[in-house]
């Protein structure tokens, strides 16, 4: 008996109608694989909630509570559009550390709350393609090597490199797709010493395109790439994608940002 992904997801999220609920529960009894998928979805949900719980304990800056309460004070001048992005931005240093400022304390706090058992269980779950650091994900292993060494359109299974281009900040970015262990596509941009994953997606387009036979010699048409990936490329790219000669030159330079 098979259960659609939609039915399973609705069941886990408490959105299934009674008939679907019964069907999923019957399938779980009959098929250990269905039961396993439900358990995985539940676990993901629990992990997400746990990961973001610590954020709620953080003190709220007074400028935000003030923004709510300011107008309520009798006869006080309401603060004039205090929250103007532009003003805040120029006053602030441009160099900031995303994720670090909140990710680490939240992570530490929540991991203490989670206990050791889950930590041990999860420490084995590492993807072969990416590793996390304080700022997000960076490519590693075969993906890192493919991004550094392959030219666009080369399809060394199970990784395919798509287009390469120079971003508006001068850094090189390359699109890629992965066939295993599950199809995905993404965009990586070269930092000083790592390929930073700027986007990771598993859309239908990524799945069908990377489901090709490994080693099949093909250069995917733009339309086969997931739309969100194309949008990200368009938003970042400064000019046209690199041609083969420009790719070779960039590779020879170690993909170092051109300023």
CB of 119 to other proteins, least distance (A): 6
DSSP 54: G
> Which is it for the CA torsion 36, 159, 191, 234, positive or negative?
negative
**Touching other proteins, residues 214-233 (CB under 8 A):** 228, 232
Which positions ≥6 away from 256 have C-beta within 8 Å?
A: 190
Nearer to other proteins, 107 or 246 (CB): 107
- Considering only residues 152 through 181, tell me which ones interact with other proteins, judged by CB under 8 A: 167-169, 171, 180-181
Strands 172-178 vs 184-190: parallel, antiparallel or unpaired: antiparallel
DSSP-H helix ranges across the chain: 5-12, 18-30, 32-53, 62-69, 85-91, 100-114, 116-123, 141-149, 204-210, 227-236, 244-252
* Minimum CB distance to other proteins smaller for 130 or for 250: 130
Binding mask 129-148 for other proteins (x = CB under 8 A): xxxxxxxxxx----------
By CB under 8 A, the residues from 236 to 255 that bind other proteins are 236
Q: Rule CB under 8 A: say whether 30 interacts with other proteins.
A: no
Which listed residue (1, 26, 30, 64) binds other proteins by CB under 8 A? 64
* Nearest distance from C-beta of residue 247 to other proteins, angstroms: 21
- Long-range contact list for 223-228, CB < 8 A, 24+ apart? 225/162, 225/175, 225/177, 225/185, 226/185, 226/201, 227/203, 228/199, 228/201, 228/203
The CB-of-225 to other proteins minimum distance in angstroms stands at 13
CB of 245 to other proteins, least distance (A): 25
Would you count residue 192 as binding other proteins (CB under 8 A)? yes
Is 99 an interacting residue with respect to other proteins (CB under 8 A)?
Answer: yes
């Amino acid at each position: 008996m098979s259960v659609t992904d939609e039915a399973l997801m609705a069941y886990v999220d408490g959105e299934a109608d009674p008939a679907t609920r019964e069907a999923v529960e019957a399938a779980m009894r009959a098929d250990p694989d269905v039961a396993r998928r439900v358990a995985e979805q539940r676990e993901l949900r629990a992990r997400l909630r746990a990961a973001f719980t610590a954020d709620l304990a953080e003190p709220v800056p007074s400028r935000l509570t003030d923004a709510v309460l300011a107008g309520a004070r009798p006869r006080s001048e309401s603060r004039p559009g205090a929250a103007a992005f532009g003003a805040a931005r120029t006053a602030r240093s441009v160099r900031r550390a995303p994720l670090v400022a909140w990710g680490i304390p939240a992570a530490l706090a929540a991991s203490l709350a989670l206990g050791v058992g889950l930590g041990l269980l999860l420490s084995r779950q590492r993807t072969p393609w990416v590793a996390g650091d304080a700022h997000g994900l960076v490519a590693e292993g075969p993906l890192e090597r493919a991004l550094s060494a392959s030219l666009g359109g080369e399809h060394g299974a199970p990784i395919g490199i798509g287009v390469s281009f120079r971003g508006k900040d001068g850094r090189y970015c390359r699109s890629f797709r992965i066939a295993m262990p599950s199809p995905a596509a993404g965009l990586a941009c070269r930092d000083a010493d790592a390929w930073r994953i700027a986007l990771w997606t598993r859309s239908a387009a990524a799945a069908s395109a990377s489901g090709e036979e490994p080693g099949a010699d093909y250069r995917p048409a733009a339309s086969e790439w997931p739309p969100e990936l194309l949008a990200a490329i368009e938003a970042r790219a400064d000019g046209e994608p690199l041609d083969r000669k420009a790719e070779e030159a960039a590779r020879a330079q170690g993909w170092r940002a051109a300023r």
